[in-house]
Each structure stands twice: as C-alpha cells, then as structure tokens.
Amino acid sequence: MENKFHVSLPCMHIEATENFYNKIIGATIGRKAKNWVDVNLFGHQITFTKSGKFNFEYPNYMFEKTVLPSFHFGVIMDKTEWNNLYEKLKAHIHIDKTLFLYDQNGEHQSYFIKDPNGYVIEFKCFSADNSIFKS
C-alpha cells in the first residue's frame, strides 16, 4: 500500500464542506456522522469536524515574487489529472496557475483554492516526478 496522509480539521458547516469537496472537486465522501465527515481527496483522508468558529491567522510568505499562505495543505498530482481538475474548478471559481522554480530542480505548477471553511488547498504537479523531494 502506498502511504497516504490523514489530517483532521475543524469546520463551520459539515453540509457545505461535504458539498464543496464532493460536488466541486469531485472527491468521494467516506464515513460521516452529524458532526463530522471523512473526505477521500485523491486517496488521502481528511476528516472535517464541526467545531464552530476556529481562529486561524494566515501569515503569508513570499516565494519567487508570489505571496503564498503559510497554512495550507495540498495534493501532488500527475499533469493530466492536475489539468483536468483545473478545467473543472475554473467553471466554478476563479483560479490562476503559477509556475515555480522554472528550469530548476523541483520545477512545478500550482494553483490554490479555498474551501468553505477558509482552508487553502494547493494542487501541484511536478515537471519531473523524481524532483519532488530533491534539493
């Protein structure tokens, strides 16, 4: 079995969260109850738990002249799947693609979206799979 990540995050509205991940992104929904839902995000498990308002500060940082959110999570995808999702998402929300580390080790493209809870999700694809962890 390939390793998968799991993250549990607070959310404001279970139904809005479930609809966003299922209907907009196309993720499948796993186990759920009144106050939580498991989302299968490309084979990785995110558990959203209703907790009411949660106080996050979103400090940013600069990377190659682009301001990025310090607090975010994401999925690394192959180019075809990444492009297909981009086309699907741009029918619902405004998003921009960004190329990072052009012609360097780790060259990749990313786009960022926010879910209904304010979490920033990065979807990225690397030009070369073997450069994901190379420094």
What are 121's two structure tokens? 């999700």
Q: Strands, DSSP E only, in 21-101?
A: 28-33, 36-41, 44-50, 60-63, 66-69, 73-76, 98-100
* Tens-place pLDDT, residues 10-64: 888 999 999 999 999 999 999 888 888 889 999 898 988 887 666 666 566 667 8
Task: Determine the longest span between alpha carbons in the chain, in angstroms.
Answer: 48
pLDDT higher than threshold 60 for residue 135: no
pTM of the complete model beyond 0.85: no
Ordered by where they begin, the domains of the chain are: 6-131 (3.10.180.10)
- Residue 47, token pair as written in the block: 């558990």
Please report the pLDDT score of residue 83 as a whole number.
96
Q: Tell me the average pLDDT across 63-76.
A: 78
Task: Please state the rounded mean pLDDT for residues 76-104.
Answer: 93
